[in-house]
Chains A and B, each alone.
Chain A
Amino acid sequence: KNEVEQSPQNLTAQEGEFITINCSYSVGISALHWLQQHPGGGIVSLFMLSSGKKKHGRLIATINIQEKHSSLHITASHPRDSAVYICAVANTGNQFYFGTGTSLTVIP
């Protein structure tokens, strides 16, 4: 069983829809990261969370430490949001675990 589980694996949405991607983890962590990966392969860090909630523009990330769960929300989705979104956690042993990613396609 993977230390980090994401759902859904694939997601197609119409432009303007509200999108939620979920992440559950099974290890003790000191930080959780949401990453965005475009088809070329490069990865961009969107958020690093250790508690509560963070917001950047149309992106919102929340984490519930007790439930070992995080969500990434995209409001008013746009085709340029199409990418793979990866949840990753750093545990207290300084090891970094990745989910398998959620492939998002936003249709105009």
Chain B
Amino acid sequence: GAVVSQHPSRVICKSGTSVKIECRSLDFQATTMFWYRQFPKQSLMLMATSNEGSKATYEQGVEKDKFLINHASLTLSTLTVTSAHPEDSSFYICSARDAPPGAANYGYTFGSGTRLTVV
């Protein structure tokens, strides 16, 4: 089945520094990827949708300049948290739509998540 690899699984960084999280589709091409944020005991909150070769679409309230998303290839999307602060500490999860555009049926495969702690 479709596999999405997300790295790192855990990262601790100092306040004011930037952190990059990678999301790779290992056995399929993902034209569309999604980035979520999840707080303890809460559901997934969509941050942005990234399409290969174009700018990401951010959800209302998500700061574009703080959460930089790049989807330069069909198998890789990255999320960079710039000038991180303790309030950015959270669990970040990526997912990929695992079917070509126009396919009637498809699934969404999720990465294993990244626990970001800003100290």
Q: Does B associate with A?
A: no
Residues of A within 8 A of B (CB): none
- State the B residues within 8 Å of A (CB): none
